[in-house]
Amino acid sequence: MKNIEQLVNETMESLDGLQRAEANPFLYTRIMQRLKNRSGYQPAYQRKLMPVMAVALVLFISLNILSFYKVNEEPRSDTNAGTGIENFANDYNLSESEGF
């Protein structure tokens, strides 16, 4: 039991000579300056590119929505409307007798 008490006392005595750690006095100032410079900096090409990218994104989404509705649109009931393959064959004067 005395051995444990002796070890505890030696450990506590070893802490007597400790001093508080001191940082560089200008460390906080340097860190704050870097954060300030970093947050306000934006290259000129980024400032010009952002509106262009926003407009391009809006156009892209609009075209996708438009094409979605066009694809899902009900076909018209025209009397002379055929299937896509028949229309293609008629446009290019292709017939079954040509041997494709």
**Statement: the pTM of the whole predicted model exceeds 0.85:** no
Q: Is residue 14 part of a domain?
A: no
pLDDT tens readout for residues 48-96:
888 999 999 999 999 999 999 888 887 665 555 567 788 888 888 887 6
Q: Is residue 59 part of a domain?
A: yes
Q: Is residue 9 part of a domain?
A: no
Q: Is residue 32 part of a domain?
A: no
The pLDDT of residue 35 is 82
Backbone region of residue 70 per phi and psi (left: phi > 0; alpha: psi in -120 to 50; beta: other values): alpha
Number of domains in the chain: 1
Q: Is residue 100 part of a domain?
A: no
Q: Is residue 56 part of a domain?
A: yes
Alpha-carbon torsion, ordered 14, 20, 22, 23, to 10 deg: 90
Domain containing 57 equals 41-65
Average pLDDT over residues 18-36: 86
- Residue bearing the bigger pLDDT, 23 or 52: 52
